[in-house]
Amino acid sequence: MALQIRTGTWTELQTDAKPIREQVFIQEQHIAVKDEWDAQDAVSQHFVVYEGEHAIATARLLPNHSIGRVAVLASHRGQGIGKQLMLDIIQQAQQQQRPLLQLSSQVHAIAFYQQLGFQVRGEEYLDCGIPHIDMQMSLLEND
């Protein structure tokens, strides 16, 4: 089935994005509810991947060029959906003429982001008890 990626505000997409994040971050990864929901949702551009009518993945792009809350439902992992989602975000960021993209990757996902062109920056650290590392990608032509 063909996938469709919609982008919009939190107001427009939270009905579909929220359950995915609850399942992946709060239930699977045991992140505290207070740590999952923050003021950044209101100012971010949100992305939701749909398979037919079903929302199966989500992410957000913050004003500071950070990609966050990248989540694919367990039932749909390993099918390249996360990659499609990230490529869509990268394309949108290029159209918006952003200079770079950055993210805080869970350590197990470093290779996934490296395949997309992100590079590790700095040292590993814990966020909500999960090892993370900062990664960055330049979007400027001559960088």
Provide the whole-model pTM. Answer: 0.94
In the chain, where do the E strands start and end? 3-8, 45-51, 54-61, 66-72, 100-106, 119-127, 130-138
What is the pLDDT tens value at each position of the chain, 143 positions in all? 689 999 999 999 999 999 999 999 999 999 999 999 999 999 999 999 999 999 999 999 999 999 999 999 999 999 999 999 999 999 999 999 999 999 999 999 999 999 999 999 999 999 999 999 999 999 987 54
Structure confidence at residue 2 (pLDDT):
85
The pLDDT value recorded for residue 140 is: 84
* Lookup: tokens for 123: 């040292």
Distance CA 101, CA 99 (A): 7
Distance of alpha carbon 9 from alpha carbon 115, whole angstroms: 28
For the chain, how big is the Rg over CA atoms in Å?
Answer: 14
What is the predicted pLDDT for the residue at 142? Answer: 56
- Which residues, 6 or more positions from 40, have their beta carbon under 8 angstroms from its beta carbon? 60, 62, 68
Tell me the three state secondary structure of residue 69. strand
